[in-house]
Chains A and B, each alone.
Chain A
Amino acid sequence: MTKFRMTRRGILKGAGAGLVTLGAPYVFTKGAWAEEFCNDPSKGRVVFGFNVPQTGSYTEEGLDQLKGYQLAVKHINGEGDGGILNTLKPVALKGNGLLGRKVEYVTGDTQTNTDVARDGARRMIERDGAIMVSGCVTSAEAIAQQSLCQEMGVIYMSGLTHSNDTTGKDKRRYGFRHFFNAYQSGVAIAPILAQEYGTERRAYHLTADYTWGWTQEESIKAATEALGWETVATVRTPLGLGDYSQYLTPVLNSGADVLILNHYGHDMVNSLPQATQFGLRDRQANGKNFEIIVPMFSELMAVGAGDAVKGIIGTSNWHWALEDEGTKAFTKSYGEEYGAPPSQSSHTGYVQAILYADAVERAGTFYPPEVIKALEGFEFDGAGNGPTLYRDSDHQCFKEVLVVRGNENPSSKFDVLNVIGKTPRDKVTYDPSIFGGELGPYEPNQC
């Protein structure tokens, strides 16, 4: 084999050139370290960073979330009709911007990829001077961004993330979640399942083979077994498989009479219609009608499952047809702006941006530890989910959880789901210690 002999002269030359140029640009960067905290808006603009998937499988949910954020910025700045600023109680925002300053925003595309999401968040923080970052449609994006934001000392308000880990094992002091989680789905759906399908059922789980799928399977299994249901089998399916036939045929003669699909998004859009095509819902098993359950509905994607969604029970964070004042106010201003009803994805984004702004207004400063303290333990109402608590010990919101069912006679493509039950907040409240994790310090890092 060949040997390299690096000449002494060559190395010295190279090293020298490197060192000389290496020294120079440090001069330009020195000033960046003088701030009291990262991106202090008192010296510049007030910028929010909205980082959602704009390409890839979850584009529609990402773009709808972005619409929610844009509406929130409008309302904070006093443009439009004010939306839930009129219904939120208590509210410190006056519709004149944030601490009297106009809020601006920057956007990014996460491609539903954790690396790209973190790249986007870093751009917002390092280049655009964002004081707060928000947005995601998967838990992996949420956890990746909130751990980055903790490092940088910038508050992260997560968007659509359903895994227990976001405010459990991987919770962070700088990360906040308004959306509900898999554990709450399990607790919320159980009473309705007992009421609809009885307490003597044999369930077969098909679970997407990654972290979110497992936590959901675990939560739903625990909740249904507490009802007296028996779990026949739990089978893992590869993520993004497309054709599920090889996992569906074994269900037919397994002795189960309920199929629980722990699938989200595209997985659900494919597996649910295919299960229906295999005639599962036309079958009788153990003397009962065979049923399919999708514990967590991806609302916009449910349209992609077509007729198969009709009659299927699942849970949801929020629905535009709710009757409370907050929902009405948000649905109205969103409908006027975009000509369609909002999804739960845009709702959670909208509410998160408003809640952050309100906390800043209440704290009277952008200094993150003070804002965090203003959000921790904040009790509010009128944002669409009834009385809600931002719990201080894990930064999870506690509120009613909706149980929904696929609409048998949808009047439009926005009318896919019907709300059939609400599980009250105290039922879905749990002890934060069951998931472990540690929030970390308040003190901000210098970004």
Chain B
Amino acid sequence: MNAFLAQLLNGLDKGGAYALIALGLTLVFGTLGVVNFAHGALFMLGCFCAVTFRYLITLETVTIDPENLSPWGTPVEVRTPLVQNWFGDFGAVLVDYSVPISILLAVPAMLVIGIAMERGIIKHFYKRSHAEQILVTFGLAIVLQEIVKSFFGANPIPQPIPSDLRSAADIGVWLGMDPHTLTYPWWRIVYLAFSAVVIGGVFAFLQFTTFGMVVRAGMADRETVGVLGIDIDRRFTIVFGLAAVVAGVAGVMYTPLLAPNYQLGMDFLVLSFVVVVVGGMGSLGGAVAAGFLLGILQSFASMTEVKSLVPGIDQVVIYLVAVVILLVRPRGLMGRRGIMEN
């Protein structure tokens, strides 16, 4: 029972991450009709917003002491962090909470990056073939990750969890079990809540605002909306920016779980495509459902009991589920007819 609950939590946690990453991708599919192979790169850029923020607030004054040599023969550097000098204890808190606070940097930064990408390149590709969209966005993804590599190097850069959230919560006690039978890291609980809030926010935005209404109308019938005299292109630009922001903040909050390196985006690219397609192209609800479904099934497939029945199942479960769902349901869980089917 404990093992089951723990795997369910793992699954929800993974699912939240998958859904959050897939959300922006399916939004761009559904509205702009663009196959965005740079979406993983946007997630990676989000991660590096956190890295950059932490780098900035831990900037130090460096004085070099030429007398004192390090064991490998170069002068020793004496470092003093600036933030602590300026703000004292508040500075220390700022450094401690650098990951969640860096969302403040990530939102505007990713919005700008997203809009620049759409205006600069993507908008010229709305009427081009999907093949060309793939080539240009893939090229863009490589360029983005190489730029990150030249600034930050290729090694993963760990981001710490704020010290208050570093331990594991004793969830078992909340459910009336003995202490220490079911513990779960606080940060993962925070991430689950965070993904729920962001997903809810995006849904509310599209459902309850005029802007969202126009965008949904544009998804359904772009031409008619254009004929009505609404500048749908400008709104789609903002949608792309929004997708970039969602991918970015998903990345920011994920950094303590997975130390970011420049290739992280490629690792998530295939996964997010699978999630989106299993959910059904252009369906937001489908992407969320598929994210949680795949996350939970992946967790349960990793249990030793399951693995002993079907060897290697944990290696392939995501793809197996994708195959089964696509063969049973032609357009994924909630896909609409005609989107990206030819």
Q: Do A and B interact directly, with beta carbons closer than 8 Å?
A: yes
- Give chain A's interface residues, CB within 8 Å of chain B: 55-57, 59-60, 209, 233, 235-238, 240, 242-243, 245-247, 249-250, 252-253, 266, 269-270, 273-274, 277-279, 282-283, 300-301, 303-308, 320-321, 331-332, 334-336, 339-342, 412, 414
Cα separation A340 to B153 with both chains bound (whole Å) = 15
Contacts of A243 in B (CB 8 A): 14, 17, 257-258
Contact of B298 among A246, A304, A307, A332 (CB under 8 A): A246
Are A306 and B160 within 8 A (Cβ)?
Answer: yes
Contacts of B160 in A (CB 8 A): 306-307
Cα separation A445 to B23 with both chains bound (whole Å) = 57
Are B183 and A60 within 8 A (Cβ)?
Answer: no
Find the B residue at minimum CB distance from A342.
Answer: B72
| Given known A-B contacts A245-B14, A279-B185, A304 and B158 have beta carbons under 8 A apart | yes
Contacts of B157 in A (CB 8 A): 304
Are A300 and B155 within 8 A (Cβ)?
Answer: yes
Cα separation A250 to B73 with both chains bound (whole Å) = 47
Are A60 and B188 within 8 A (Cβ)?
Answer: no
Are B7 and A278 within 8 A (Cβ)?
Answer: no
- Give chain B's interface residues, CB within 8 Å of chain A: 2-3, 6-7, 9-11, 13-14, 17, 70-74, 149, 153-161, 166-168, 180-181, 183-185, 187-188, 256-259, 261, 263, 267, 298-299, 302-304, 307, 314-315
Could you list 13 further interchain pairs (A-B, Cβ under 8 angstroms) beyond the known A56-B263, A245-B188, A321-B71?
A245-B10, A270-B259, A277-B185, A278-B183, A278-B184, A282-B167, A283-B180, A301-B155, A303-B155, A303-B158, A304-B155, A306-B159, A331-B71
| Given known A-B contacts A60-B155, A304-B156, A249 and B10 have beta carbons under 8 A apart | yes
Are A249 and B73 within 8 A (Cβ)?
Answer: no
Find the A residue at minimum CB distance from B267.
Answer: A242
Find the A residue at minimum CB distance from B299.
Answer: A246
Are A60 and B153 within 8 A (Cβ)?
Answer: yes
Are B154 and A60 within 8 A (Cβ)?
Answer: yes
Cα separation A283 to B185 with both chains bound (whole Å) = 13
Are B156 and A266 within 8 A (Cβ)?
Answer: yes
Contacts of A237 in B (CB 8 A): 314
Contacts of B7 in A (CB 8 A): 246, 249
Are B13 and A245 within 8 A (Cβ)?
Answer: yes
Cα separation A334 to B166 with both chains bound (whole Å) = 38
Cα separation A320 to B263 with both chains bound (whole Å) = 29
Find the A residue at minimum CB distance from B161.
Answer: A277
Q: Could you list some 18 contacts between A and B, CB below 8 A? A: A59-B153, A60-B153, A242-B267, A245-B299, A246-B10, A246-B298, A249-B6, A266-B156, A269-B158, A273-B259, A277-B187, A279-B183, A304-B158, A308-B158, A331-B71, A341-B71, A342-B72, A412-B70
Contact of B315 among A238, A270, A321 (CB under 8 A): A238
10 tightest A-B CB contacts, nearest first: A306-B158, A59-B154, A335-B72, A279-B168, A304-B156, A249-B6, A341-B72, A335-B73, A246-B302, A246-B299
Contacts of B159 in A (CB 8 A): 306
Are A332 and B161 within 8 A (Cβ)?
Answer: no
> How many Cβ-Cβ contacts under 8 Å join chain A to chain B?
131
Contact of B183 among A252, A320, A332 (CB under 8 A): A252
Q: How far, in Å, is A287 (CB) from chain B's closest CB?
A: 14
| Given known A-B contacts A250-B3, A282-B167, A233 and B158 have beta carbons under 8 A apart | no
Contacts of A270 in B (CB 8 A): 258-259
Are B72 and A334 within 8 A (Cβ)?
Answer: yes
Cα separation A267 to B3 with both chains bound (whole Å) = 23
Find the B residue at minimum CB distance from A249.
Answer: B6
Find the A residue at minimum CB distance from B13.
Answer: A245
Contacts of A278 in B (CB 8 A): 168, 183-185
Cα separation A330 to B72 with both chains bound (whole Å) = 9
Contacts of B185 in A (CB 8 A): 277-279
Cα separation A332 to B71 with both chains bound (whole Å) = 8
Contacts of A269 in B (CB 8 A): 156, 158, 259
Contacts of B304 in A (CB 8 A): 233, 235, 250
Q: How far, in Å, is A54 (CB) from chain B's closest CB?
A: 9
Find the A residue at minimum CB distance from B187.
Answer: A277
Are B6 and A252 within 8 A (Cβ)?
Answer: yes
| Given known A-B contacts A246-B302, A253-B3, A279-B183, A240 and B267 have beta carbons under 8 A apart | yes
Contacts of A307 in B (CB 8 A): 158, 160
Contacts of A236 in B (CB 8 A): 307
Q: How far, in Å, is B307 (CB) from chain A's closest CB?
A: 8
Contacts of B158 in A (CB 8 A): 269, 273, 303-308
Q: How far, in Å, is B7 (CB) from chain A's closest CB?
A: 6
